[in-house]
Chains A and B, each alone.
Chain A
């Protein structure tokens, strides 16, 4: 049996520490008890789900996705349409997962030969198509007015109404997804995915089907974003296309870059922090976006490998190269 190296101990420590902090952070809103804090918590968790998907697609396989909001919207609208037409929460939930898989395949298969900036352009186009369809397919999506009065789900006879209920629901959604992602990154499949993003030609030369890996990444991202969409629809109870603009997609990419394109630890740390920062910067009125942009810019300039990348590098420098 192999002995663990100091590096492994440290990495495991970093993971344990991060997980403990996350658990602690999740409990904070219950201590404060304010509706606004719960709301911010829900937004942070929703963003975490979206950035986790983005991390798989953009961080691991290197396909810059600039239309995460579109994947998110498809989940939200898919769920709302199903629930409004009388289906149960569970049916709508599984339909959203299926829709995510189909969307991933529809986007992934035809773009098999497109990469780099061209793939980013494809995603921008995809985002616009989704937005225009949502805006113009009046009968199905409600057009510019969107969908209103989405029925609240009930579990064991309890209808979700309080903000804390939705917060708990967000935790129930996000924690398994994050754990799945952690398992996935450390699996054989996750490793092959990471390799295909790192060097396509070399990974093919050792037997990795990079096309398959790309499609898997897009499908996983699509499903995770779809689940975030379900959360959105359940929480807000109404939808409109303006909530899913490309500006939202860009802010999610910012969170990914600041957290670290290759560091899931960074994503876990920085996505909630940036989501909270964005909310609390509202106090600065119209300066909110400028301050947020400066913070992100400073992070990118002084920490191009992301906060998570910096943390991992610190651990590696300190405990491996001695």
Chain B
């Protein structure tokens, strides 16, 4: 594909960029001309009411769905038609809204899977010495990653399916980090967690961003999103309706309207902060909670 010089500049500016991405399922446009860019080291949140197309957007970006039109660029390379495992190997890893865990693998094995490729290149099989202590070197690295995420001490050899829900969510993030990503897509990491766990996961996400990973996050909790994100993009019915810093986006009448399902004026959104947004959407009947 020929890329104009202006486009080329834009592609180079962002580590991940979608250009006019449309995803149609029969006659339904789940995404329509969505253009979102993620800068290096940035934490970008993608929000929107239920059915806005957020997860579809992640599925297109991560290669699970192939976009009907438009392009996806990762580190300057067109990945629109690239297979998911190749995208992961290029440095973009994702988590899933509906828990994506390996049921019959242990915590440590699960993390080691994400590291398998780098080790495979060096050594596809193991020596006799490593037989009784499989994935020796990987294991030490996996323990480091689990410590980085925190809370896994003593349960490294437990089957993933036996972990409490919150830990399974953390494990997804740990596994993704083991793949050493440059871009991490987090699909509702705080869904189903209690307030304490949400605070904890917010800290983990910030820690990941400070380690140099660019993060794109889908989340419903506006309070959480606005407290940790550098920028917010809002989708509604597959269309991009807002893009900006959290303070501006939550005061945008279009965004509030999308959440409560009816038009609202700027004067009605008071106070213009996450609490105000939350109160207003609760009072008027939010469509997302």
Which residues from chain A sit less than 8 Å from chain B, CB to CB? Answer: 2, 4-5, 7-8, 12, 182-184, 186-189, 191-192, 194-195, 198-199, 201-210, 262, 316, 320-321
**Complex Cα–Cα for A182 and B132 (A):** 11
Chain B positions 154-177 with a Cβ under 8 Å from a chain A Cβ: 156-159, 175-176
Closest A residue by C-beta to B106: A7
Query: Does A191 lie within 8 Å of B104, measured CB to CB?
Result: no
Known pairs A192-B116, A194-B105, A202-B102; list 17 more (Cβ under 8 Å). Answer: A2-B140, A12-B132, A188-B112, A188-B124, A188-B135, A189-B116, A191-B105, A191-B113, A191-B135, A198-B102, A198-B103, A201-B64, A205-B93, A206-B88, A207-B89, A207-B116, A207-B179
Docked-complex contact A210 and B116, CB < 8 angstroms: no
Is the Cβ of A208 less than 8 Å from the Cβ of B126?
no
Whether B25 is near chain A, meaning CB under 8 Å from some CB there, is no
Contacting residues, chain A, for B119 (C-beta < 8 A): 188
Q: Per-residue CB proximity of B76-120 to A under 8 Å, as 1/0?
A: 000000011100110001101000111111000110111011011
A192–B120 Cα distance when bound, in Å, is 10
B117 close to A207 (CB less than 8 A): yes
Whether A206 pairs with B114 at a CB distance below 8 angstroms is: yes
Q: Count of B residues near A, CB < 8 Å?
A: 47
B residues 54-90 touching A (CB-CB < 8 Å): 62, 64, 83-85, 88-89
Q: Is A191 a contact partner of B140 (Cβ separation < 8 A)?
A: no
Which A residues are in CB contact (< 8 Å) with B83? Answer: 204
Nearest residue (CB) in A for B63 is A204
Contacts of B156 in A (CB 8 A): 5
Chain B residue with the shortest CB-CB distance to A185: B134
Cβ-neighbour of B120 out of A4, A186, A188 (below 8 A)? A188
Counting chain A CB atoms within 10 Å of each CB, the highest count among B105, B116, B133 belongs to B116
Shortest A129–chain B CB gap in Å is 31
B17 smallest CB distance to A (angstroms): 20
Whether B38 is near chain A, meaning CB under 8 Å from some CB there, is: no
Cβ-defined contact, A195 with B102, below 8 A:
yes
Chain B contacts of A186 at CB under 8 A?
126, 131, 134-135
A275→B103 CA distance, assembly (Å)? 30
Q: Is the beta-carbon distance between B179 and A198 smaller than 8 angstroms?
A: no
User: Which B residues touch A189, using CB under 8 A?
Assistant: 116, 120, 124-125
Contact B139 A2, beta carbon cutoff 8 Å: yes
Q: Closest 8 interchain pairs by CB? A: A202-B100, A207-B88, A186-B134, A198-B102, A206-B114, A7-B157, A204-B84, A195-B113
Contact B158 A320 (CB under 8 A): yes
Provide the residues of chain A in CB contact with B138, threshold 8 Å. Answer: 188
Q: Are B85's CB and A210's CB within 8 A?
A: yes
A-B contacts, 23 listed (Cβ < 8 Å)? A2-B143, A12-B132, A183-B126, A186-B126, A186-B131, A188-B112, A189-B120, A189-B125, A192-B117, A194-B105, A199-B101, A202-B96, A202-B100, A202-B102, A205-B62, A206-B88, A206-B114, A206-B178, A206-B179, A208-B85, A209-B85, A320-B157, A320-B158
Do A204 and B139 form a contact, CB below 8 Å, given A187-B124, A195-B105? Answer: no
Chain A min CB distance to B126 (Å) = 5
Interface pair A198/B114, CB less than 8 Å apart: no
**C-alpha spacing A202/B123, complex, angstroms:** 23
Residues of B within 8 A of A5 (CB): 156-157
Measured in the bound complex, the distance between the Cα atoms of B132 and A2 in whole Å is 13
In the bound assembly, the distance between CA atoms of A206 and B102 in angstroms comes to: 12
Return A8 CB to nearest CB of chain B, in Å.
Answer: 7
How far is it, in angstroms, between the C-alpha of A182 and the C-alpha of B125 when the chains are bound? 11
Are A207 and B85 in contact, CB atoms less than 8 angstroms apart? yes
Residue of A nearest to B176 (CB): A206
